[in-house]
Amino acid sequence: MVDALGESFDKAPEGKWTPGQQLEHLGKSVKPIAQGLRLPYFLLKWKFWTANRPSRTYDEVVAKYLNKIPKGYIPGKQYLPAPVSIEKKSDLKRGLDRSVRSIARSLNKMSEKQVDELVLPHPLIGRITLREMMYFTLYHVDHHYANVQRDQKNLS
């Protein structure tokens, strides 16, 4: 059976990230959010301030991101994956799962108002609300999943 990461965890078409690298990139992208949300709300509010506008919709966040991303954009070093061997698959999946669960626990402790009030920094979009960060994260995961599906099909 083929899992969501594809049949070839460490193979991709020339110039593309492998499923393992896609997974590592997502883990590196989600972990800082999980770590930040473990801080007390008042501290997050003090460090990152609060929104001066309502949260954008999912579609508005995606459009803003796609308008900001330059052709051939390469993420910052801290988000770039190294070559990933099949031996790291379980650890990477476990790490991403841990971060996602941590984010969910943090969100469950917040009110809707707090999710729309808290502002976090996004490396490309700039300061966005926590709700917008969650919208972006959903889009980001879907984008990389689609990349894996496309690239695995091109390997066949």
Q: How far apart are alpha carbons 31 and 24 in whole angstroms?
A: 11
Confidence (pTM): 0.91
Residue 7, pLDDT score: 61
State in words which class domain 19-70+84-155 has: mainly alpha
**Amino acid at site 26:** L
Q: How far apart are alpha carbons 127 and 144 in whole angstroms?
A: 23
**Closest alpha carbon to 23 in 136, 100, 102, 128:** 100
Residue 52 makes CB contacts below 8 A (sequence gap 6+) with: none
Q: Residue 52: helix, strand or coil by DSSP?
A: coil
pLDDT averaged over consecutive 10-residue blocks of the chain (156 residues)?
A: 63 92 96 95 92 97 93 87 94 97 97 97 94 98 94 83
Residue 1, pLDDT score: 27
